[in-house]
């Protein structure tokens, strides 16, 4: 797939390359803190292959979605975990 798609990152529309994982798209946008740990520290993707669960986000209303395992799509709604 080629071109760009629009995702909505905490309600803000952002253009990202089509055909990449959500984790890759967010890193490319320099959004490296995907969620916060219990102490409030930032957590970022580690493995990139679905095993560490550090990239969990809410995607299209589904909490706990691993961003490294899904491809971006037009209109995707992403809520960063605070």
Interface with ligand FES (CB under 6 A), residue from 5, 22, 26, 55? 55
Burial of 74 (0-12, 13-18, 19+ CB in 10 A): exposed
Q: Counting contacts by CB under 6 A, is residue 64 touching ligand FES? A: no
Q: Counting contacts by CB under 6 A, is residue 68 touching ligand FES? A: yes
> Hunting for tokens 């037009």 — which residue is that?
74
- Distances in Å between the Cα of 52 and the Cα atoms of 34, 41, 46, 49, 55 are 13, 16, 7, 8, 8
Q: Give the C-alpha separation, 66 to 69, whole Å.
A: 6
Which one, 19 or 48, has the nearer CB to ligand FES?
48
23 by DSSP, 3-state: which? helix
- Of residues 11-40, those binding ligand FES (CB under 6 A): 23
Interface with ligand FES (CB under 6 A), residue from 4, 8, 18, 48? 48
Query: CB 67 → ligand FES: shortest distance, Å?
Result: 6
Contact positions toward ligand FES, by CB under 6 A?
A: 23, 45-48, 50-55, 66, 68
């Amino acid at each position: 797939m080629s071109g760009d798609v629009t995702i909505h990152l905490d309600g803000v529309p952002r253009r990202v390359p089509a055909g990449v994982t959500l984790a890759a798209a967010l890193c490319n946008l320099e959004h490296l803190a995907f969620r916060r740990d219990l102490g409030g520290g930032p957590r970022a993707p580690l493995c990139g292959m679905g095993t560490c669960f550090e990239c969990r986000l809410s995607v299209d209303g589904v909490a706990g979605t691993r961003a490294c395992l899904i491809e971006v799509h037009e209109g995707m709604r992403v809520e960063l975990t605070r």
